[in-house]
Each structure stands twice: as C-alpha cells, then as structure tokens.
Amino acid sequence: MAGKSSQGADFFAPMRFEATIEDCIVEGELPRDLRGTFYRSCADRRFPAMYADDTPYNSDGAVDMFRFYDGNVDFKSRYVRTPRYLAERAAHKVLFGRYRNRLTSDPSVRNVSHNTANTTPIIHGGRLFSMKEESLPTAMDPHTLETVGEWDFNGTLKTVSFTAHPKQDPDTGEMIAFAYEATGDCSDDLAVLIFDREGNLTRDIWFKTPVVSMMHDMAITDRHVILPTTAMVTSRERLERGQLHWAYDPDCPAYVAIVPRDGTSKDVRWFKGTPDQAMLVHTTNARTEGNKVILEAPVAQENFHQYFPRVDGTKSDPSRYYPTLRRWTFDLDSDKDTWEEEILFDGLKVTSFSRMDDRYITKPFRYSYMMMNDPTLPINRDFADTLAVRVSNAWFRFDHQTGGIAKYSPGDAHGISEPQFIPRHSGAAEGDGYLVGVVNNFRAMRSELVLVDAMNIEAGAIAKVIMPFRLHMQVHGYWASDETLPF
Ligand SMILES: [Fe+2]
C-alpha cells in the first residue's frame, strides 16, 4: 500500500477492534426525524498480508452501523465471522494467501471458504447481507451484527459466487443479482439471479461470457439486466503460477450483455466495444426507453487498481486512470453489436464510485454522487502523500440534466468515503435529503461521520458524529430507513 511515512498511511493499520457506542458525540444537530440505519461494509486486514504485493481488497470484512433516531445516533461495529476469520482467529496468524488464489494459502485452509464478505451491505427480505463477489452473501443479524453465515437462499442458489452489487427494483421490490465465474475459479459461466421481495429465488438465467473477467457491478431497467465485463482478466495458468487473481489486459475489448428480465439464455445479446471502454467498474443507473437501453456510468481508459499488474508486465498510464462519466445507448432494434457513446463530463479526478437516489433506479434521474481526488482543494503537506495517492478528499454531485457540479470537502487532512444518499422523507423529491459518509481525519487519527444537505453540499456539514477512534476502511454503504427495517 502506498503512503510512505505520513501519519495518514498508518490510519488503516490493523486494529482488531470492535466497538459499541450509545449516544455518540454529535457536533451540530442531527435532524430529529431522521430514523434509520446506515450500514458500511469495510475491509480491515486483521493480520498483515502473507504476501507484500497483495491488494487491500483481500482484507477481512467488518460491518459498521450508525443507527439514527430522535436526533441521536448509536454505533456498532463487528467483524464478519467468516470461515476465514474463524480459521485465522484459531491460528492467531494469517493463513490465506494472495487475492483470490487459494493455491497460495496455507495447505490447512485451501478448501476453506475464502469469503471476506467485505464489499457491500444490503437489507433484503429482512436480512442483512455483507457481500463479496467471488463468494456467497454472508447473512448477519441487522440489529446485533452477529454473523449467521453464508446464505444459499435455502438451498436454491446454484452459483458459487454472487455479485456485491445487486440492485433492488424500487417498484417491484425484487432484488436482481448476477454471478460470474459462477461455477468456480476461471469458469466462463454467468447467471442472472432474480429474487422476490421476500428474498426467494424466482428465476436464474445461465449463459457464457466471451471473456473471463472481473464483472464488479451491474445495472437494471424495468425490463432489462445489463452486465459489463472489464479488462481485468484471469486464467488457470495465473493461479497456478501463484499470482493475484487479476491482471489488466490493455487489448481486451469491452463487452456488455443485455438480458431481458423475463427472458431466457436465448434472449441474451452481447455488445462489443473498445479497450478504452473496458474499465467500467461501477454503474450509475440505467433505463429502457422504447427499444433502447440507456446506461450511465463512470468509465476509465486504463486499469486504476494499481496493485493488479498488466498481463505483459508493462507500466500503466496514470493519466488514463480517472473515469469520464459516459452515457451508452444500446439499440435493440439494430442488428449491430455496437453502442452509441456520449461523454457527460471529463477532466475531473473522480473515482469509479457512483451513487444516486436509489428510489430512481430504472428511472430517468437527475443527480449522482461520487468521490473525487480534487487537486484544487487545500491539502496539508504533512498528509499530501496519503491524500494524493490513497484517498478521496471530496464529494462531487453531478446534475445529469444541466451538467452542473457541486463539491463538498471535509478538510485539508481528511479522506472521505462513499456518499450515501438518504431521502428527507419517503415522499421527498429526487435529491431532497442528506448525504452521509465517514470522514477519516488523519491529523487527529480518528474518524467522524458527516451529514450534509444533498441539495446544498457546498454549505458543509449540518452535523458531525465524532468517533473516538479510527474506523475501518469502507468499501460501500447502504441506508435502511426505519420503514424498511423497524427497530
Ligand atoms: Fe463496488
């Protein structure tokens, strides 16, 4: 991990720490009618990596929750008790090897689940899941954060993997997911998985991918499922050589599968793009208009996961790391396997993380929220390495109708996690609500949760929840209102 000697570089050092805080310290005033729970899936390596060239993605999962009620907030954090956590806890040392390569793990655990459960939390069917894409979701108690265990949906799930980015249809209440390498490492099997509101698997659609690659995120419309491949590729030979699961192939084109939600494997259409379109890691939103499917997403021109090498060992080009926000239109009436591309913005150092008001998934929408590395903001030089290399220092709101932008920066020695949009109330207009997220204060070596008015983010935080310690490194978050999950 980069960061050299600055204090901030130590911020994510292993703590092996869990906590419960009732009545957290709050600066400012939390809205009294804000009632619900903000969950975070985090990556926190409990033991130093077995291999120095490993990736932070290979860290143990932990889930945090901030529960808001009557102007108060309570906090709880727990590691996910995965089989991997339990095995290393029993051995008191690291046993699991390079990222997604079980051949590099200690022989005693090669057949133990390598699930880290460290990427995304979601509430569906009353259950809390923390998910990691090469494994099954891990079910947890949404109130105590006790681990229930890997969840195969009562034996109905036939895949060995499950995306960390399923989508919930705001109209039908369904959860749409997918699995890649669905029958095991390096397999070219894909499955679209559709669950009803209660979490019962109602459909699975199996087909093959033209390239075995990282497929991190997906999008849905009211009629279609959209699955982009990336240029992060793998092979059985890589794993047998003891390498990390992924390498970047700069010659690999982008592929996008469009699958009718009510279709079969015969209805799957593959579209083919260029290598410059093959680093779509997170989507923003999609919709179907007539027979056109429209996808909006940040897309980079180059692999920005710096710990994953190029397949040929050549150096990557950092000037191509930062995504541009693009709109891709797929014409299902056309026989062509290409799509139209429109650049919505470029030239800003945004990350690939992209969130929105989730009530507008599948619908025309106006606002998205991203993290960015903003070089125009003041940076305390003591933390410059950390802020320039490792973390984002601002939130960014993009107006998809006008192209307008707005920014929020928490401070000159602060890193910021993914913003989570919370509607002001269930009937609020799109974008009318709050952004919450964890800020890491490298100067004070502690974290805080900030709450910002989503329509006026440049005005700064309405309230800050002051944590007396540093928190785990967040990957993604989820908001469950009290209407979704009463407590
Ligand atoms: Fe993600």
Is position 487 within any domain?
no
The rounded Å distance from CA 282 to ligand 1 centre is 6
Please report the pLDDT score of residue 387 as a whole number.
63
Please report the pLDDT score of residue 395 as a whole number.
95
Please report the pLDDT score of residue 15 as a whole number.
84
The rounded Å distance from CA 145 to ligand 1 centre is 21
Is position 2 within any domain?
no
Per-position b or e across 305-324, b if 16+ CB within 10 A of its CB: bebbbebeeeebeeeebbbb
The rounded Å distance from CA 399 to ligand 1 centre is 22
Question: What's the CATH code of the domain at 118?
Answer: 2.130.10.10
Q: Pairing mode, if any, of strands 219-220 and 224-228? A: antiparallel
Is position 1 within any domain?
no
The rounded Å distance from CA 459 to ligand 1 centre is 28
Please report the pLDDT score of residue 1 as a whole number.
35
Cα separation, 139 vs 219, in Å, equals: 23
The rounded Å distance from CA 367 to ligand 1 centre is 19
Segment (H or E) for 413: none
The rounded Å distance from CA 427 to ligand 1 centre is 28
The rounded Å distance from CA 353 to ligand 1 centre is 7
DSSP 3-state of 57: helix
Please report the pLDDT score of residue 388 as a whole number.
60
pLDDT in tens, 407-438: 999 999 899 999 999 999 999 999 999 999 99
The rounded Å distance from CA 243 to ligand 1 centre is 22
The rounded Å distance from CA 284 to ligand 1 centre is 11
Mean pLDDT of the chain: 94
Please report the pLDDT score of residue 390 as a whole number.
62
Is position 334 within any domain?
yes
Is position 60 within any domain?
yes
The rounded Å distance from CA 191 to ligand 1 centre is 19
pLDDT in tens, 29-72: 999 999 999 999 999 989 999 999 999 899 999 999 999 999 99
Please report the pLDDT score of residue 12 as a whole number.
81
- pLDDT score of 9 more than 70: no
| Whole-prediction pTM | 0.96
The rounded Å distance from CA 303 to ligand 1 centre is 15
The rounded Å distance from CA 349 to ligand 1 centre is 18
Overall average pLDDT of the 346-371 stretch: 93
Is position 112 within any domain?
yes
DSSP 3-state of 267: helix
Cα separation, 82 vs 80, in Å, equals: 6
Which of 376 and 95 is assigned the larger pLDDT?
Answer: 95
pLDDT in tens, 175-211: 999 999 999 999 999 999 999 999 999 999 999 999 9
The rounded Å distance from CA 217 to ligand 1 centre is 7
pLDDT in tens, 313-357: 898 888 888 899 999 999 999 999 999 999 999 878 888 899 999
Please report the pLDDT score of residue 6 as a whole number.
45
The rounded Å distance from CA 354 to ligand 1 centre is 9
Please report the pLDDT score of residue 321 as a whole number.
84
The rounded Å distance from CA 232 to ligand 1 centre is 14
Indicate the pLDDT class of residue 5, thresholds 50, 70 and 90: very low
The rounded Å distance from CA 421 to ligand 1 centre is 16
The rounded Å distance from CA 334 to ligand 1 centre is 31
The rounded Å distance from CA 363 to ligand 1 centre is 21
Number of domains present in the structure of the chain: 1
Overall average pLDDT of the 15-28 stretch: 96
The rounded Å distance from CA 203 to ligand 1 centre is 24
Residue whose C-alpha is closest to residue 461's, from 25, 14, 26, 17: 26
Q: How wide is the angle at C-alpha 259 spanned by C-alphas 255 and 262, nearest 5°?
A: 175
Cα separation, 475 vs 118, in Å, equals: 7
Cα–Cα distances in angstroms (integers) from residue 450 to residues 53, 65, 185, 195, in the given order: 33, 14, 40, 34
Is position 486 within any domain?
no
| Biggest distance spanned by C-alpha atoms of the chain | 60
Indicate the pLDDT class of residue 378, thresholds 50, 70 and 90: confident
The rounded Å distance from CA 71 to ligand 1 centre is 31
- pLDDT score of 14 more than 50: yes
- pLDDT score of 28 more than 60: yes
The rounded Å distance from CA 423 to ligand 1 centre is 22
The rounded Å distance from CA 115 to ligand 1 centre is 16
The rounded Å distance from CA 475 to ligand 1 centre is 7
pLDDT in tens, 242-268: 999 999 999 999 999 999 999 999 999
pLDDT in tens, 437-463: 999 998 999 999 999 999 999 999 999
Structural domain boundaries, residue 104: 7-481
The rounded Å distance from CA 283 to ligand 1 centre is 9
The rounded Å distance from CA 8 to ligand 1 centre is 23
Instruction: State percent of the chain over pLDDT 90.
Output: 85
Please report the pLDDT score of residue 386 as a whole number.
66
DSSP 121-157: EEEETTEEEEE-TTS--EEE-TTT--EEEE--TTTT-
The rounded Å distance from CA 408 to ligand 1 centre is 22
The rounded Å distance from CA 91 to ligand 1 centre is 30
Indicate the pLDDT class of residue 155, thresholds 50, 70 and 90: very high
